[in-house]
Amino acid sequence: MSFIELKHIDKQYAGADRKSVTDFNLEIKQGEFIAFVGPSGCGKSTTLRMIAGFEDITGGELFIDGKKMNETAPRDRGIAMVFQNYALYPHMTVEKNISYGLKNMKVSSGEIKKKVDWAVNILGLEEYRYRKPKNLSGGQRQRVALGRAIVKNQKVFLMDEPLSNLDAKLRVSMRNEISKLHRELGSTTIYVTHDQVEAMTMADRIVIMKDGVIQQVGKPMELYEHPANKFVAGFIGSPQMNFYDITLSGDTVTFRTGEKITVPESVISKLNGRQGEMILGIRGEDIKLDEQNLSVYGNEKQQAVVENTEVMGNENNLYFTFGGSPSVARVSKYEISKIGDRIEFILMPSRMHFFDKETEACYV
């Protein structure tokens, strides 16, 4: 049975020409970690705020633990929220920031001390207990905000881009801390982010949104391997999937600039007879430059000139133009190329995706 259920949820602000969220349907199990992800303005934070009760629901129904919540006040929904800007009280110490909500809930002083001690310990804040926010780093402030949420022992945690103000190293550290905390508490968590890496590494399932509409819901690798459309394929994965305008005739793919490759029957059969103009997509790691693959697929070798390189340490990204489109190959650290080098490569046939030219829905 679903713990949180959103049924045909709409949101339209007064005076707006269109809805900010349209027909949002989702069932969340108890203890799940769900990430809402998408570009700015896609409706993910608006949806989170409707769940929290900070925004009115224009249409549809919201249920938490079997109870309809549309008209329920935020404080009565059993929710704790962590904000992007921490929202700490600057005149209060770490201890008092964490305990403040419990005092408002009329929790006994003995229970407050017990909960605060537990939160301070689990979040590694003991040595900062009596400091004020101005004397804390960004990561420490975020841990205080988490502590304030977890001591309330609520049924649901909502997190609205909580790591976006942190530097790259701290984001990685805090991702691990939040994931660990989620496992230890067994909480139901909804996490909003524009960072697909955060979503991929933390969530049990991801909800990808665009223009207020759900594009796809699934486990991280399901979205990566089987995108529903071109938007999902391009949004999930770094570097972004390569896309090419192509024409398929029989088993021959012709690129916009005339290059041709032959696609095996195992791929063609999945297209169920579709032919003509399409979009071909392939991820950078599936463009191969190694001798073994060049030997196996020798008849399908293509060439391009390297325009830029990114040396990542454990791998290299090679940028070039092919088929009339900017392209990137993700290769091992041992496959070294310089700007201006002419490279030979193959597109792995079994890893190709084909998208409808008009609707951008994914066929394969």
Give the residue-averaged pLDDT of 319-345.
95
Confidence of residue 85 (pLDDT cuts 50, 70, 90): confident
Position 236 in a domain: no
Name, in order, each residue with C-beta under 8 angstroms of 298's C-beta and a sequence gap of 6 or more. Answer: none
Residues 9 and 37 grouped into a single domain: yes
Position 305 in a domain: yes
Residues 117 and 247 grouped into a single domain: no
Residue 95 has pLDDT above 90, yes or no: yes
Q: Which of 201, 230, 259 is the last residue of a domain?
A: 230
Residues 257 and 188 grouped into a single domain: no
In this structure, what CATH number is given to the domain that contains residue 193? 3.40.50.300
Position 363 in a domain: no
Residues 56 and 155 grouped into a single domain: yes
Residues 105 and 197 grouped into a single domain: yes
Q: Which of 169, 199, 230 is the last residue of a domain?
A: 230
Confidence of residue 301 (pLDDT cuts 50, 70, 90): very high
**Measured on CA atoms in the order 100, 64, 221, 35, is the torsion positive or negative?**
negative
Share of the chain above pLDDT 90, in %: 77
Q: Which of 230, 259, 281 is the last residue of a domain?
A: 230
Residue type, 191: Y
Give the residue-averaged pLDDT of 196-211.
96
pLDDT tens readout for residues 154-194: 889 999 998 887 788 878 888 888 898 888 888 899 999 99
In this structure, what CATH number is given to the domain that contains residue 249? 2.40.50.140
State the Cα–Cα distance between residues 233 and 160, nearest whole angstrom: 24
Residues 295 and 225 grouped into a single domain: no
* Alpha helices, H only, the chain: 44-52, 94-104, 109-122, 138-150, 168-185, 196-202, 220-225, 230-235, 265-268, 291-296
Q: What are phi and psi of 11, to 5 degrees?
A: -140, 120
Residues 65 and 124 grouped into a single domain: yes
Residues 190 and 248 grouped into a single domain: no
Residues 122 and 184 grouped into a single domain: yes
* pLDDT, position 208: 98
Confidence of residue 1 (pLDDT cuts 50, 70, 90): low
Residues 255 and 320 grouped into a single domain: yes
Residues 31 and 128 grouped into a single domain: yes
Count of domains observed in the chain: 2
State the Cα–Cα distance between residues 105 and 103, nearest whole angstrom: 5
What letter would DSSP give residue 11? Answer: E
Q: Which domain holds residue 310?
A: 242-356
